[in-house]
A and B are shown apart, each in its own frame.
Chain A
């Protein structure tokens, strides 16, 4: 009898940190944010329950345009990260020799631990009007005057791909690592072309890694703040910037909470659709990587 009491007590003790963490720092804050978003300001210091903050979002095209822009650019970044990253991951996992494999993977991992801020700073130094690329182009006689390569959408997309691509490569490498080379061999022996082997064998096998990478990359991109602001300038129209303005600049917490909720709902919906389309689960992808 004493033994089972002890086990129950220890289970409660082990469970407590988990419960406190999830309840106090995840569940309750999100409920609080939802409640705040549903408070409508009718007069100074007077509030009413209502959907006014969400209606304001619908009435102002600039707000939902920004959200749609953020979402579509994030999807573009995710697709580019997958296209650029997959060959790299395949090279590391399957083609590089056993000795260079570890080194290549490590070289891939180290930039992951350097702050986004420093990486964006590096891009600024390279691309701005007085930057390295502009100076080199002038010295080579390719352009006559300094060229400004910052503050346009292409630069923001490239910068974002750069910031997140390692989060695509790491899960891909760990999935592809587990693939038996004999499967690829068999595909060729049965007469498949390189493309058929890729489409019928390698991609289906790597699907959990692909989905995990895409989810992490999409969420990181849609929630990013530094890269769009620093590389796109003040008018980069990124939705996190809109949220920040509501909260800090305009001190409109109700509106900011509503926008935060919309960003969360929007990104979760995209991830959910992605999981359904690829017939994967969150537990089978992100949790494993």
Chain B
């Protein structure tokens, strides 16, 4: 180990640096969360006492988050979008895992790189390119055939597709990594014992993949929930939470209700992230 070779002063300085880094990491989150409990109309010092009004109060000027219609609607749309993205990405990710781990086909290595590429394309570009294609297809159909396909216009369906376009890469990588560790002799044993292919899939392979599929789904849900760049260009009248919050933040004089919802989201995403880590660790056995 390295520390045996170095003097204690160096190690102490090193640990102080690591500690300072974690303070740096936590400071903005702590600030965003703490002011949710300050009994003041502005998210700023001085501290005027503890309150839960920014969560539960039902009247202006201290409208709490659980009574703020627009924030609740944003939360609902975000939830719908994130659920759709998670289900779609886990399905496609699982198909991709079987495709790239179990099958041989031409240009496999090249296509594997193609699968990774959406993750490194800037989100803004994904947003505008999908907006451009969907709009020109919709306009073309409307002019030539007089049919109006609503889902190609900015709105929830387009937001789901836009986010799915790069989140599918994340789920594919997670599930592929798990399938690569699978011991194929388990399937052979079941086949030798007379099980059909469908039965092997549902009783052996898919249960083995389940932790990775759940973890990938949680990750997809969280990434979708917090996405801003891609969503910004594809959003219609149903604005998800991040866009609603951004609009309020850009306006001066936002009340601590934004802190309340920040606290709520920090807690929620922290817990979900913890669950996804625990699920993956539990059964992978190293």
Contact = CB atoms under 8 A, between A and B. Distances in A.
B119 interface: yes
A222 B120 CA distance: 11
Contacts of B270: 110, 113-114
B149 to A, nearest CB: 14
Contact of B99 (A15, A25, A282): A15
Nearest to A202: B2
Interface in B88-134: 91-92, 95-96, 98-99, 103, 105, 109, 111-126, 128-133
Contacts of A94: 1-2
Interface string A6-37: 00000100110110011001101110110010
The 9 A-B residue pairs whose C-beta atoms are closest, nearest first, are A223-B122, A122-B28, A115-B226, A29-B129, A122-B32, A25-B165, A32-B133, A135-B45, A29-B133
Nearest to B261: A118
5 contacts: A25-B165, A29-B129, A113-B269, A115-B228, A240-B124
Contacts of A222: 122
Interface in A33-47: 33, 36
Q: What does DSSP make chain A's interface, helix, strand, loop or mixed?
A: helix
Contacts of A247: 128, 131, 233
B65 to A, nearest CB: 14
Contacts, number: 228
Contacts of A14: 95, 98-99, 103
B205 interface: no
Nearest to B134: A29
A257 B124 CA distance: 11
Interface centre among A25, A118, A135, A287 (most CB of B within 10 A): A118
A147 interface: no
Contacts of A188: 5
Nearest to B222: A113
A108 B25 contact: yes
A225 interface: yes
A226 B27 CA distance: 19
Interface residues of B, number: 87
A18 B115 contact: yes
A194 B10 CA distance: 11
B128 A113 contact: no
Interface string A253-271: 1001100100110010001
B225 interface: yes
B98 to A, nearest CB: 6
Given A224-B229, A260-B124, A21 B168 contact: yes
B103 A113 contact: no
B128 A256 contact: yes
Interface in A227-245: 230, 240, 243-244
B18 A88 contact: yes
A116 B31 contact: no
A186 interface: no
B265 A219 contact: no
A58 interface: no
A131 interface: yes
A91 B131 CA distance: 44
B115 A22 contact: yes
Contacts of B87: none
Contact of B96 (A17, A126, A257, A286): A17
B18 A126 contact: no
A247 B99 CA distance: 38
B50 interface: no
Contact of B105 (A11, A36, A194): A11
B284 interface: no
Nearest to B218: A113
A79 interface: no
B141 interface: no
B186 interface: no
A113 B273 contact: yes
A153 to B, nearest CB: 19
Given A125-B43, A244-B232, 12 more contacts: A21-B168, A32-B132, A108-B25, A114-B265, A116-B228, A122-B29, A181-B1, A219-B122, A222-B122, A225-B232, A283-B113, A287-B112
A194 to B, nearest CB: 7
B125 A263 contact: yes
A75 to B, nearest CB: 15
Contact of A118 (B46, B95, B120, B265): B265
B130 A88 contact: no
